Structure 1
Amino acid sequence: MRTDEQPTRISLFAPNGRMGRAIATAVADDPGFEIDADHGDVIVDFSAPSALQASLDRALAAAVPILVGTTGLDDFASRRISAAAKDIAVLRAANTSLGVALLSDLVERAASVLGPEWDIEILEMHHRQKTDAPSGTALALGDAAARGRGTKLNAERGRKGTNLKREEGAIGFASLRGGTVAGDHDVIFAGPEERLILSHRAENRMIFARGALAAAKFLVGKPAGIYSMRDVIDAL
């Protein structure tokens, strides 16, 4: 039987990855957590789409919740997560920054207030080694904007060519890659003779690690189901 005084035990599914190492560093600085490779209270997976089923199977076998921070997941992966969430708590997060979670909430509210006459464009930049585009965070922000409008996301990605006309109600995405950028996101609301730009800048990967710890602590003891970083910030 665990008590509130005991540290939350984290099992890292990919401990040698960038995020795995960052989370281990964050744990070392926080007495409220400890790494336990085999008997964690929660599994944290920042690996690759091909490893998703293995991490879900591990969480299901141990009957513990799992934080899925892997990006680039397809519809089949989403169905796998939904199936696992019938038995365990699953938090899926394209970005574990608490600031980005708040940004998503602001984007949804802005889209609701401003209405469809304001065009929405999302610009993101990441380091040169990132393999998926648009980023999972950018797509999540697009989903937030679509929810604010009461519609499904209609994405225009990577425009190229001539005589291109913006589709009414679409949300545009542009991706930049280079250097060691941890993650920049701008959501641009372009209206008649004015623009509103909501932005987030990740200066260090540790912000994602600290957010992942907050999400992991949130998950412990939660009933089966799918959760998001919005649930985490709502509980703070």
Structure 2
Amino acid sequence: MNRPIKLLIHGASGRMGQALLRLCAEQGDCQIVAAVTRKSPAQRVVDGVPFFAANELSGAPAFDVAIDFSLPEGFDPVLGLCVARGAALVSGTTGLSEAQRAALDAAATRVPLVWASNFSLGVAVLTELVERAAAALPGWDCDVIEAHHTQKKDAPSGTALTLGEAAAANGAKVSYASLRAGDIVGEHTVQFTGLGERLELVHRAGNRDIFARGALHAALRIVGRPPAAYRLRDLLD
């Protein structure tokens, strides 16, 4: 595509939404045509970006892909809008119900989409390495150790569970350990331990911009692909 990709940012008032607005403004291959917030925006246009309230979503201009970091109660409208308009969807909204996950699967037959609990490109590669290690090291102990800031409530983290599921799908019996301390953005270690040796696969997040960059990376590469549910690592090339 010769022109910039047209983006709709859903959840624009949150930390991820704000990061996406800032990072997209710094590059020339994307254009935000709508920023959607839960409440009515104080300003309709900010730095050239039109803002819409969530209840005005249907009136958003044409877009190629929506990036959604919102709440479960706001997920259904943006998914429905993408399907109705034939636009792609990149979503990191967590806490979806079984019905919403089923709707996501159904939508993947009509539009290209990717959902991930973590949009770090490094974590996408880590997940693949965990799968390979679990398959190659049958019978080894497998522990997923994660550390986050003190304000994070869920434990283990969603990313830790995703890594554990990747190991379990390849034969490992997984244990989890969680640490909440200071302002740690996110650290994940998958440890495989055998007799006399130990393998550690580690990812450390230095700031939250890495997740926004990963979502933008996915958005720029999913437009124009056939309808399907893609993994982030499918979009690395």
Bin for the TM-score computed over the shorter chain: 0.7 to 0.9
Cα displacement (A) at 1:178:
3.5
| Aligned-partner SS, 1:134 | coil
The alpha-carbon distance between structure 1 residues 45 and 187, as it changes in their structure 2 partners (threshold 3 A), is same
**RMSD across aligned C-alpha pairs, in angstroms?**
1.6
Cα displacement (A) at 1:57:
1.4
Cα displacement (A) at 1:132:
3.0
Report matched runs for 1:1-236 at 5 Å: 4-37=1-34, 38=60, 39-115=62-138, 117-149=139-171, 170-233=173-236, 236=237
Q: What residue number does 2:46 align with?
A: none
Give the conservation status (yes or no) of the 8 Å contact 1:68–1:93: yes
Separation in 2 of the partners of 1:100 and 1:57?
Answer: 29
Corresponding letter in the other structure for 1:86: T
Give the conservation status (yes or no) of the 8 Å contact 1:71–1:135: no
Corresponding letter in the other structure for 1:219: I
Separation in 1 of the partners of 2:218 and 2:16?
Answer: 14
Q: Which runs of 4 or more aligned residues in structure 1 lie more than 6 Å from their structure 2 counterparts after TM superposition? A: none
The alpha-carbon distance between structure 1 residues 179 and 80, as it changes in their structure 2 partners (threshold 3 A), is farther
Separation in 2 of the partners of 1:214 and 1:32?
Answer: 11
Corresponding letter in the other structure for 2:212: A
Structure having greater relative contact order (Cα 8 Å, sep ≥ 6): 1
Corresponding letter in the other structure for 1:175: S
Unaligned runs of 5+ in 1: 150-168
Separation in 1 of the partners of 2:101 and 2:85?
Answer: 21
Cα displacement (A) at 1:107:
0.6
Give the conservation status (yes or no) of the 8 Å contact 1:72–1:136: no
Separation in 2 of the partners of 1:121 and 1:68?
Answer: 28
Corresponding letter in the other structure for 1:107: V
The Cα offsets for residues 59-102 of structure 1, whole Å up to 9 and x where unpaired, read as: 12222010111223343332121122122112011111111111
Separation in 2 of the partners of 1:108 and 1:82?
Answer: 23
The alpha-carbon distance between structure 1 residues 55 and 173, as it changes in their structure 2 partners (threshold 3 A), is farther
| Aligned-partner SS, 2:8 | strand
Separation in 1 of the partners of 2:11 and 2:123?
Answer: 23
Separation in 1 of the partners of 2:97 and 2:174?
Answer: 19
Cα displacement (A) at 1:223:
1.6
Unaligned runs of 5+ in 2: 35-59
Corresponding letter in the other structure for 1:30: Q
| Aligned-partner SS, 1:82 | helix
Aligned length: 211
